[in-house]
Amino acid sequence: MPTTAPSSPILYSFPSSTELCDALANFIIKAQKESIEKKGRFSVAISGGSLPTQLNALINKPGVRWDKWQVFYADERVVPLDHADSNHKLCTDELFSKVPILKDNIHTIDFSLADDLEELSDAYEKELIREFAQKDSARFPVFDLILLGTGPDGHTASLFPGHPLLTEEDRWVAYIEDSPKPPPRRITFTYPVINHASRVAFVVSGAAKADTLQTVLDKPEEGLPASRVRPTHPGQVYWFVDDPAVSKVSFPRTPFKL
Ligand SMILES: O=C(O)[C@H](O)[C@@H](O)[C@H](O)[C@H](O)COP(=O)(O)O
């Protein structure tokens, strides 16, 4: 697939988190429709943190083809799947338990491999290969949508500032044992996977993220992990933010329309 120059991020800002989440749900449904028309499925990767709750506007929306969703986790904590820290538990409690998604299409880590993070991350990578390699015959998986957040330090997924994982170019799934954000043991997609996605949508809300967003969007040269998300195959990065989070950002806003 040809490599193209990264397109400029598209920044949508909303007065409230409610309006942000409703627009995000409509954006996801449109991406889903396009993906199903093109490939008969909708491949999505979801992060943890506040994102799963921000997806709850999907629950009562018409037009969601849950039977066509293939869900992976852009990062996951290496804890039991029913543990309070598990992104899968969070997504299940906030969303998947409330919609008719097929449980077999939600791809979780194999916690039985937790004693060996190399083996556990390899196993999750093989799950990606099973889902993508045969269908897309690309060297890297091409997700229809990857949903990300960013922390106060500008991390995204479990890619943290200054961490060697930022330079991983071959593995699709890597592990970290010293995450600055607890819990310390996690697996994460790497940039080769994230930057091959057709669409990446960051979802960021709250005034506490204002300084971070200013650096990530106005000073990408500082190289915070969230700034390094630049799909080029080709792909597009979208930012769904609320006004408090974007209050210090000079990067131009785009009026939201589908
Ligand atoms: O598993 C995780 O911890 C998340 O994937 C993490 O990368 C999250 O997206 C950011 O820390 C933002 O989290 P908040 O939106 O809750 O601040």
Separation CA 195–CA 190 (nearest Å): 9
Residue labelled with tokens 């018409």: 62
Q: What is the pTM of this model?
A: 0.96
Cβ of 228 closer than 6 Å to ligand 1, yes or no, is: no
Residue labelled with tokens 């991350």: 121
Cβ of 48 closer than 6 Å to ligand 1, yes or no, is: yes
Lookup: tokens for 209: 């993220």
The 10s digit of each residue's pLDDT in 51-97 is 999 999 999 999 999 999 999 999 999 999 999 999 999 999 999 99
Confidence of residue 1 (pLDDT cuts 50, 70, 90): very low
Cβ of 53 closer than 6 Å to ligand 1, yes or no, is: no
Q: Write the residue with the smallest CA distance to atom 7 of ligand 1.
A: 157
Q: Which domains are seen in the chain, by residue range?
A: 10-147+158-204+213-246 (3.40.50.1360)
Q: What is the pLDDT at residue 220?
A: 96
Q: What is the pLDDT at residue 168?
A: 97
Distance of CA 197 to the CA centre of its chain: 10
CA distance readout (Å), 232 to 49, 76, 129: 26, 25, 21
Separation CA 208–CA 59 (nearest Å): 27
Lookup: tokens for 44: 């999505």
